[in-house]
């Protein structure tokens, strides 16, 4: 029963975290809330009547077995899918139906389960692309590449270098990302998302397919991002040890329904969650 | 041994993102430009100018235009020759309607007109991708050629259906028409091509270029980091068509002097230019030049060798050339699928550490 071993392990960590965690400080401010959201593709119900919220500055984990609707949920949040029912509140206001690039503009960044980097470009260019929304110089100056365009380019380069330093990917700065090992690609993807300076960062399985050392590195980066930049993070992850250690609150989905929500310790004790993960005899 | 960047330190970001960050490259391109500007024009005769240098420059410009669209933004187009035709007919109409207009302005305006038409035919790219888009651009190829053939206004109701370039000047120097000296024609094309290459390079290394490449490599991820597909794709179509349109104006006005739509702008022209950028290297400015050089110069060199050197008949050499050309294209694509530009890049990387293997 490795799961239960993890559970008891993580539980002690979680309780010690809870005392110092940012969310527990005072009355939390709402970053995003979904209320009674349902999403279906034809007859397939991906998400059924799910409500949860994400507080400002917290790390919120979304867990659940395969096919539970976790990624669909992220896709709803960043505007890629449009739910048939339900409301999404973004920073206190009802959010109208929006396209992905509009969601990006409003401050939502994300990484993907299967790495979605721009393979033909170098690490530096990938991260620079993440700054695109903040760059304003017009077409004319871009053609000459002098004056405002060059200033802007250098300004953002400085910011990008800061992120590259932060994630310790200096040595691969000029390498094409297609040739990098998987763990580094994941890190570059995080760098690209961070370059947007998002308010809310969605991480879809940031640690999938990594070894222990890479997982530890990635966990460190996630916590540091949260603490240093104050970025609110929502993450999907299957490694329970990581989830329980990192997150302030956890929401559990199964077959498109919410079956648990609360601090890690509480979720672990939830019988329904245990059943969903371990299975029950019928 | 000579190609080392040891001791060349960059102290600011501007230096680091220069077009040629390595000093040897800078000297190399300066020497090349010096030859192009100060040696070639004064040694070139009519044959070399008309058969080699003019088409080389013009095809490089057009290939660069297509490379923006296919190589940088990842939108496949088979309608290149049609956009060349738009540029050519636009320049023809401008030259005949406004006889006093400077030819450099005519070229720029032809580019702009083509950019508008190109963006219009780029609209389907918002919905369809890949091979399906390629087929959609074929519609441009057939429709535009049919249109300029059918509507007499485009060729000024001439009896033959041909268009002929009248004599026009650029900054007082005659550059079009049968009596324009090759020196002026060459300089005119060279200046336009060098400027176009510089501007295109600037665009692709800045924000817009990165967004094009983002759409090319992973369009969904691009959208989720805030790249707008509509403006990005259409801007690629516009810039690409602008370059192709200018190329078309030079192709007809300066080089050919007379054009008949189905011959000068047939689909084989579209394919020729697509081959140029595939063999030269997709997504590189250098590749457009190398590809144009390879696909234009090789057949001429081969023909001269076969006919004058070995004494074969012209038809025989033509057939052999087609066989050899096809074989060579396949050979190059197997050796280096990313084209001649990548081959050159690998050579440079090897040179850096020469004589050591690692």
Q: Are A238 and A103 found together in one domain?
A: yes
pLDDT band per the 50, 70, 90 thresholds, residue A5? very low
Last residue of a domain, one of A197, A230, A261: A197
Q: Are A221 and A102 found together in one domain?
A: yes
Q: Are A142 and A50 found together in one domain?
A: no
Say yes or no for a CB contact (<8 Å) between A129 and B205.
no
Residue A83 has which token pair?
């739910």
Q: Best interface-test mutation with B: which of A75, A78, A110, A143 has the largest number of B CBs within 10 A?
A: A143
CA-CA distance, B132 to B124, in Å (whole number)?
Answer: 10
Task: Look at A136 and A188; give whichever has higher pLDDT.
Answer: A188
- Are B271 and B325 in contact, with CB atoms under 8 Å apart? no
Last residue of a domain, one of A142, A172, A197: A197
Res B231: pLDDT: 93
**pLDDT exceeds cutoff 60 at B293:** yes
Chain A contacts of B205, Cβ < 8 Å?
A: 145
Q: Which run of H or of E encompasses B210?
A: helix B207-217
Comparing A155-164, B57-66, B122-131, B287-296, the range with the smallest average pLDDT is B122-131
Say yes or no for a CB contact (<8 Å) between B213 and A157.
no
Residue of B nearest to A197 (CA): B225
Q: What's the pLDDT tens digit per position in A26-74?
A: 567 889 999 999 999 988 889 999 999 999 999 999 999 888 899 999 9
Say yes or no for a CB contact (<8 Å) between B202 and A132.
no
Q: Are A174 and A57 found together in one domain?
A: no
The answer to whether residue B329 sits within a structural domain is: no
How far A97 CA sits from the closest chain B CA (Å)? 15
Strands B169-170 and B163-164 come out as unpaired
CA-CA distance, A129 to A177, in Å (whole number)?
Answer: 13
**pLDDT exceeds cutoff 60 at A22:** no
CA-CA distance, A227 to A218, in Å (whole number)?
Answer: 14
Say yes or no for a CB contact (<8 Å) between A129 and B217.
no
| DSSP one-letter string for B233-259 | HHHHHHHHHHHHHHHHHHIIIIIISEE
Q: Are A80 and A152 found together in one domain?
A: no
Of B12, B213, B226, the CB nearest to A133: B226
Of A104, A130, A143, the CB nearest to B202: A143
The answer to whether residue B148 sits within a structural domain is: yes
**pLDDT exceeds cutoff 90 at B64:** yes
Q: Best interface-test mutation with A: which of B72, B215, B224 has the largest number of A CBs within 10 A?
A: B224
CA-CA distance, B346 to B343, in Å (whole number)?
Answer: 5
Q: Are A103 and A210 found together in one domain?
A: yes
Q: What's the pLDDT tens digit per position in A214-249?
A: 999 999 999 999 999 999 999 999 888 899 999 999
CA-CA distance, A91 to A104, in Å (whole number)?
Answer: 14
Strands A93-94 and B169-170 come out as unpaired
Res A275: pLDDT: 86
Q: Are A82 and A211 found together in one domain?
A: yes
Q: What's the pLDDT tens digit per position in A96-129?
A: 888 899 999 999 999 998 889 999 999 999 999 9
Range of the domain at A140: 114-197
Res A282: pLDDT: 65
Residue A182 has which token pair?
């998987």
Of B13, B224, B226, the CB nearest to A154: B13
Give the number of other Cβ atoms within 10 Å of residue A140's Cβ.
10
How many folded domains does chain B comprise? 1
Mean pLDDT over each residue of chain B, to the nearest integer: 91
Q: Are A207 and A179 found together in one domain?
A: no
Say yes or no for a CB contact (<8 Å) between A157 and B228.
no
Chain B contacts of A199, Cβ < 8 Å?
A: none
Q: Best interface-test mutation with A: which of B210, B225, B282 has the largest number of A CBs within 10 A?
A: B225
Q: Are A97 and A175 found together in one domain?
A: no
| DSSP one-letter string for A216-250 | HHHHHHHHHHHHHS--EEEEE-S-HHHHHHH-SEE
**pLDDT exceeds cutoff 70 at B346:** yes
How far B307 CA sits from the closest chain A CA (Å)? 43
Q: Are A141 and A242 found together in one domain?
A: no
The answer to whether residue B348 sits within a structural domain is: no
Say yes or no for a CB contact (<8 Å) between A105 and B226.
yes
Res A7: pLDDT: 43
Which range scores top for mean pLDDT: A14-23, A40-49, B102-111, B123-132? B102-111
**pLDDT exceeds cutoff 60 at B222:** yes
CA-CA distance, A202 to A28, in Å (whole number)?
Answer: 19
pTM for the model: 0.90
Q: Are A219 and A233 found together in one domain?
A: yes
Of B12, B207, B227, the CB nearest to A142: B207
CA-CA distance, A262 to A252, in Å (whole number)?
Answer: 9
**A·B CB contacts under 8 A:** 100
Res A14: pLDDT: 43
How many folded domains does chain A comprise? 2
Q: What's the pLDDT tens digit per position in B141-176?
A: 999 999 999 999 999 998 888 999 999 999 989 999
Q: What's the pLDDT tens digit per position in A154-196?
A: 999 999 999 999 999 999 999 999 989 999 999 999 999 999 9
The rounded percent of chain A whose pLDDT value lies above 90 is: 60
The answer to whether residue B280 sits within a structural domain is: no
CA-CA distance, A268 to A7, in Å (whole number)?
Answer: 7
**Where residue A243 sits, what CATH number does that domain have?**
3.40.50.300
Residue B316 has which token pair?
């025989």
How far B296 CA sits from the closest chain A CA (Å)? 28
Res B21: pLDDT: 85
Res B165: pLDDT: 92
Last residue of a domain, one of A197, A231, A266: A197
pLDDT band per the 50, 70, 90 thresholds, residue B196? very high
Q: Are A38 and A90 found together in one domain?
A: yes
Range of the domain at B74: 44-264
Chain B contacts of A154, Cβ < 8 Å?
A: 12-14
The answer to whether residue B224 sits within a structural domain is: yes
What mean pLDDT is predicted for residues B329-344? 87
Residue B257 has which token pair?
């002097």
**pLDDT exceeds cutoff 50 at A9:** no
Q: Best interface-test mutation with A: which of B207, B234, B348, B349 has the largest number of A CBs within 10 A?
A: B207
Cα separations in angstroms, B343 against B19, B292, B318 = 19, 16, 28
């Amino acid at each position: 029963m490795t799961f239960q071993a993890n559970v008891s392990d993580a539980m002690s960590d979680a309780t010690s975290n809870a005392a110092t965690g940012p969310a527990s400080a005072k009355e939390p401010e709402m970053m995003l809330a979904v209320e009674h959201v349902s999403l279906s593709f034809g007859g397939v119900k991906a998400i059924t009547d799910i409500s949860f919220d994400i507080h400002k500055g917290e790390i919120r984990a979304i867990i659940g077995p395969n096919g539970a609707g976790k990624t669909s949920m992220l896709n709803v949040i960043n505007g890629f899918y449009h739910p048939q029912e339900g409301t999404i509140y973004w920073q206190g206001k009802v959010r109208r139906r929006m396209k992905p690039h509009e969601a990006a503009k409003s401050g939502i960044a994300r990484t993907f389960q299967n790495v979605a980097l721009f393979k033909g470009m170098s690490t530096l260019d990938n991260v620079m692309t993440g700054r695109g929304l903040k760059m304003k110089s017009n077409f004319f100056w871009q053609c000459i590449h002098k004056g405002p365009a060059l200033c802007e380019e250098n300004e953002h380069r400085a910011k990008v270098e800061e992120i590259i330093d932060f994630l310790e990917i200096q040595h691969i700065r000029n390498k094409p990302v297609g040739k990098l090992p998987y763990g580094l690609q994941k890190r570059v993807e995080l760098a690209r998302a961070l370059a947007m300076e998002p308010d809310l960062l969605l991480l879809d399985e940031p640690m999938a397919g990594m070894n222990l050392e890479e997982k530890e590195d990635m966990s460190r980066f996630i916590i540091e991002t949260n603490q240093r930049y104050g970025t609110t993070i929502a993450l999907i992850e299957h490694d329970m040890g990581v989830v329980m250690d990192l997150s302030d609150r956890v929401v559990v989905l199964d077959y498109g329904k919410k079956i648990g929500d609360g601090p890690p310790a509480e979720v672990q004790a939830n019988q329904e969650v245990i059943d969903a993960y371990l299975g029950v005899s019928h | 041994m000579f190609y080392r960047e040891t001791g060349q330190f960059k102290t600011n970001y501007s230096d680091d993102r220069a077009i040629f960050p390595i000093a040897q490259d800078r000297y190399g391109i300066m020497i090349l430009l010096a030859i192009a500007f100060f040696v070639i024009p004064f040694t070139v005769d009519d044959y070399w100018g008309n058969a080699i240098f003019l088409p080389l420059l013009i095809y490089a410009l057009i290939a660069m235009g297509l490379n923006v669209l296919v190589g940088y933004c990842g939108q496949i187009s088979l309608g290149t020759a049609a956009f060349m035709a738009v540029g050519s007919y636009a320049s023809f109409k401008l030259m005949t309607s406004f006889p006093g207009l400077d030819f450099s302005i005519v070229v720029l305006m032809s580019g702009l007109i083509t950019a508008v038409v190109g963006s219009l035919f780029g609209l389907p790219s918002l919905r369809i991708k890949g091979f399906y888009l390629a087929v959609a651009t074929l519609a441009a190829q057939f429709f535009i050629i049919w249109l300029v053939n059918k509507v007499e206004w485009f060729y000024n109701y001439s009896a033959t259906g041909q268009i002929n370039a009248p004599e026009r000047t650029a900054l007082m120097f005659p550059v079009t028409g049968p009596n324009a000296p090759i020196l002026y024609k060459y300089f005119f094309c060279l200046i336009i091509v060098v400027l176009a290459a510089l501007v295109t390079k600037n665009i692709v290394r800045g924000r817009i270029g990165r967004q094009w490449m983002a759409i090319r490599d992973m369009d969904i991820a691009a959208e989720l980091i805030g790249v707008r597909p509509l403006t990005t794709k259409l801007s690629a179509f516009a810039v690409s068509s602008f370059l192709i349109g200018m190329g078309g104006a030079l192709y007809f006005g300066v080089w050919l002097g007379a054009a008949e739509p189905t011959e000068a702008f047939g689909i084989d022209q579209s394919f020729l230019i697509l081959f140029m950028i595939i063999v030269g290297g997709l997504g590189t400015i250098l590749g457009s030049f190398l590809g144009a050089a390879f696909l234009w110069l090789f057949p001429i060199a081969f023909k001269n060798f076969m006919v004058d050197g070995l004494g074969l008949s012209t038809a025989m050499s033509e057939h052999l050339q087609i066989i050899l050309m096809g074989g060579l294209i396949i050979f190059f694509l197997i050796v280096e699928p990313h084209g001649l530009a990548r081959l050159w890049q690998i050579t440079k990387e090897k040179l850096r550490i020469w004589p050591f293997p690692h």
